[in-house]
Chains A and B, each alone.
With several copies, the nearest count.
Chain A
Amino acid sequence: MPGDIWAMSSTTSAAASVSVLLFGRYAEALRSERFDLALAPGDTVADVVVRLRQLPGGDVLPLRPLCARNQAHCGPETALAPGDELALLPPLAGG
């Protein structure tokens, strides 16, 4: 029941949520650049990705996307804390 675990920013206290930022074609496919998600204790990046993949357009996300926690690269097993900023990064193409 994805509806139970989704909560947008307006209804979630910052203390128990994580901001998920999307970029490039991830943002394009999911039609949003940001989701604020309620966080369960022990949630990892991979847990959040699994939930996002259930959204319309969410299959653009690989199971292990490139990601960053609080503006530093991190792995999918990284544990998230309330207030964290998690960014899901499409393949980089700078330079």
Chain B
Amino acid sequence: MNVAHLVTTPVDATRLVARVSAPERGGIATFIGLVRNHHAGRAVLRLEYSAYGPMAEAEMARIVEEAERKWTARVAVEHRLGALDVGEVAVAVAAAAPHRDEAFAACRYVIEELKRRVPVWKKEHYADGSVGWVDPTAPGGSVPAAGGTGA
């Protein structure tokens, strides 16, 4: 069963929890990443996620497999693509394991590795009309993108 997906419809963490639940797994840790209304001191109105689709899903599947092997856990993850408003869910991870240590560790591993390895990009639309590509390696956290109407 493939449990690592890119989706263009709303991410539902409850659905992921249901997928990983089982009577022998007593702990489920989840992480939900939402679109924030600010980034590096700038007011954010909305954003757009894009991806190198086939690789992103393959890499997510590899990460899930690694976590499941390392912690005897069961993991599901979904990442949203396209246009998102503030408050919408961008990514959700659910990790179930017999005990909570493993569930937390597996959940944390998946979101950290996803951020480190999965080819997804984020374009932010700011309140001042400008648009930026989020770049964690850039000084201000983003670099200007084409299509902005402001600064």
Contact = CB atoms under 8 A, between A and B. Distances in A.
Q: Do chains A and B touch in the complex (CB under 8 A)?
A: yes
Interface of A: 21, 23-25, 28, 68, 71-73, 87, 89-95
Interface in B104-151: 111, 114-123, 133-138, 143, 145-146
A43 B114 CA distance: 30
A22 B56 CA distance: 14
Given A24-B50, A71-B58, A87-B55, A93 B143 contact: no
A95 to B, nearest CB: 4
B121 A23 contact: yes
Sorting the interface of chain B by its residue count into under 10, 10 to 19, 20 to 34 or 35 or more gives 20 to 34
A90 B51 CA distance: 11
B33 interface: yes
The interface residues of chain B, by DSSP majority, are classed as mixed
B90 to A, nearest CB: 7
B68 to A, nearest CB: 19
Contact of A71 (B33, B54, B79): B54
Contacts of A91: 135-138
Nearest to B47: A93
B64 interface: no
A94 B133 CA distance: 12
B23 to A, nearest CB: 18
In this complex, which of B33, B51, B52, B118 has the most chain A Cβ atoms within 10 angstroms of its Cβ?
B52
